[in-house]
Amino acid sequence: MTSILTQKPVFAEKEILRGLQQYDRRANVHMNGMVFYPYYFFEYDISAKSLLRLQGKIACTIDALSGQGAMVDVQPEFSTYLMEGEEVLPITIAENEAELLAERFISQTLSQKAKFITIPRLHLSSCSLFYRPFWLAKYTKPGRGQQPLIVDAISGSYHPL
């Protein structure tokens, strides 16, 4: 058995199934288990001068498969999870590459959102590889065939695959 750092699912499999069935009562929904998607979490101390002196923290996640960045308002709560047969997607972006992507992403985001007199200085304060849980479902509607879905176990949002 392997242990991973993850976020605790908010939505249980039964809740996702019930929600999808209520969305379209004519559809047949079959749950196919959970998959864990890898991300890196980077938190930086930042200091810069704008009209006021800016000091604080800024954070982002980097998708460990695509390298796509996203800003984070609040540090996710992580817990250790002992894997029991669930699928963990393999990492394709190494941590050192993800760190460069994170610095570039944060710098670009800051330059678009704020005006600074000096270039913001970033100092990495923490980095974690974590796995976000997603439910896999198969949505079948008469006359339309099957549509595989992935459902975020934290937010409940779903997307066709």
Residue 7 falls within a domain, yes or no? Answer: yes
Domain count, the chain: 1
Distances (CA, A) of 34 to 2, 31, 59, 152, 161: 15, 9, 27, 10, 14
Domain interval for residue 134: 3-138
Task: Decide: helix, strand or coil at residue 66.
Answer: coil
Which DSSP category does 148 fall into? E
Per-residue confidence (pLDDT) for residue 90, from 0 to 100: 92
pLDDT per residue rounded down to tens, the chain (161 residues): 688 999 999 999 899 888 888 877 777 888 899 999 999 999 999 887 665 566 789 999 999 999 999 999 888 899 999 888 778 999 999 999 999 999 999 988 887 766 666 677 899 999 999 999 999 999 887 777 888 999 999 999 988 88
Residue 105 falls within a domain, yes or no? Answer: yes
Give the span between the Cα atoms of 69 and 150, in whole angstroms. Answer: 20
End-to-end CA distance of the chain: 28
Longest dimension (CA), the chain: 61
Residue 59 falls within a domain, yes or no? Answer: yes
SS3 content of the chain, % helix, strand, coil (to 5): 20, 50, 30
Residue 160 falls within a domain, yes or no? Answer: no
pTM for the full model?
0.85
Residue 13 falls within a domain, yes or no? Answer: yes
Residue 15 falls within a domain, yes or no? Answer: yes
Return the bridge partners of 14, or none.
none
Nearest to 92 by CA among 101, 83, 104: 101
